[in-house]
Amino acid sequence: MSSKATLPELMARPGIITVPGGGTAMELRLIELGGFDAGYVSGYATAAAVYGVPDVGLIAYNEVEKNVTDIRNVTTIPLIVDCDTGYGDVANVMRTVRGLEQAGAAALQFEDQQWPKKCGHMEGKKIEPVEIAAARIRAAVQARRNPDLLIIARTDARSPMDLDAALERLKIYKEAGADILFMDAIETAAEMERMAAELDGPLMVNMSESGKTPLMPVPELEALGYKIVIFPSSMIRVMIRQLTQFLTDLKANGTSEPWLDRMATLDETNAALGLPELNEIGERIRAA
């Protein structure tokens, strides 16, 4: 894989950036092989795909740092990393920023929920006082060593509070130094339009299938003024549905043959894992 454009370079280009998400090195590698310019390391997908648990605050900094390191080792596209709340107070946020910057993240996303946090599209979220959340954003901005590392401020206040409160919070996070603003679980197309009209960009939006936010085609989101659209958990949902069906069929029929046209061949699998490149490098080194 060749080096890709940095996230600031992508942000400077015209047009919206479509960013699929995953929780494992294999998923993010497939995102890169699929031709996408950036990948999203989703907290939901990490909890589900790596640890087999729901996104309710059960994984923490060290687990995320290791996962990002593993993903960075097999990818070159910019990685936008979901850092939940930063895993604590100001000092924890600073440690999170420095560790994940060192691991190779291009952008870090921090939300304003209280711990234990929940997926943004679940009920029962509790929101931090705005001064605590803003302090975390200031800490993240101060902690970064590389000015190209972007800080994303996410608010989850729309559902437990209201749209006005969520918009006001994002304005405060912008003043605290956030580079990109993100309202999760925004509920209608009209609200999305209002957000784009009232806030200074760049803005990020989440297309979480069967969640609170209506699904909209990427060109429509671009027309509204959004710069980044993430699909954070689509791959793990496809994986769960398809693997469940495969295992059901295998148990019932005792053969995988009906699935041959729906699975990668051994050669295709090895190619996705980078075996041809490793073989070529090995042969070149031995020949020298």
Distance between CA atoms of 236 and 268, rounded to whole angstroms? Answer: 20
**What CA–CA distance (Å, rounded) separates 232 from 45?**
7
Q: How far apart are CA 84 and CA 247, in angstroms?
A: 33
As to burial, measured by CB atoms within 10 angstroms (0-12 exposed, 13-18 middle, 19+ buried), residue 288 is exposed
- Predicted local distance difference test score (pLDDT) of residue 74: 97
Q: What is the pLDDT along the chain (288 residues), one digit of tens a residue?
A: 345 899 999 999 999 999 999 999 999 999 999 999 999 999 999 999 999 999 999 999 999 999 999 999 999 999 999 999 999 999 999 999 999 999 999 999 999 999 999 888 888 899 999 999 999 999 999 999 999 999 999 999 999 999 999 999 999 999 999 999 999 999 999 999 999 999 998 999 999 999 999 999 999 999 999 999 999 999 999 999 999 999 999 999 999 999 999 999 999 999 999 999 999 999 999 999
Bridge partners (DSSP) listed for residue 152: 109, 180
Q: How many Cα atoms sit within 13 Å of 195 on the Cβ side? A: 28
The DSSP-derived string for 78-146 is -EEEE-TT-SSSHHHHHHHHHHHHHHT-SEEEEE-BPSSP--TTSS---B--HHHHHHHHHHHHHH-SS
CB 150 within 8 A of CB 107: yes
Start-end of H helices in the chain: 7-12, 25-33, 43-45, 51, 61-72, 90-103, 130-143, 163-175, 189-198, 218-224, 234-253, 266-272, 275-287
- Whether residue 147 is preceded by a cis peptide bond, meaning omega within 30 degrees of 0, is no
Q: Which tokens hold the place of 195?
A: 């957000």
Q: What local confidence, expressed as pLDDT, does residue 22 receive? A: 98
Domain boundaries in the chain? 7-235, 241-287
Q: What is the pTM of this model?
A: 0.96
Tokens encoding 228: 């980044």
Cα–Cα distances (Å) from 201 to 7, 39, 151, 153, 228, in that order, read 15, 20, 13, 12, 10
The CATH number given to 7-235 is: 3.20.20.60
Query: Is the torsion defined by CA of 7, 11, 12, 13 positive or negative?
Result: positive
> What pLDDT is recorded for position 3?
57
- How do residues 8-51 score in pLDDT, each as one tens digit? 999 999 999 999 999 999 999 999 999 999 999 999 999 999 99
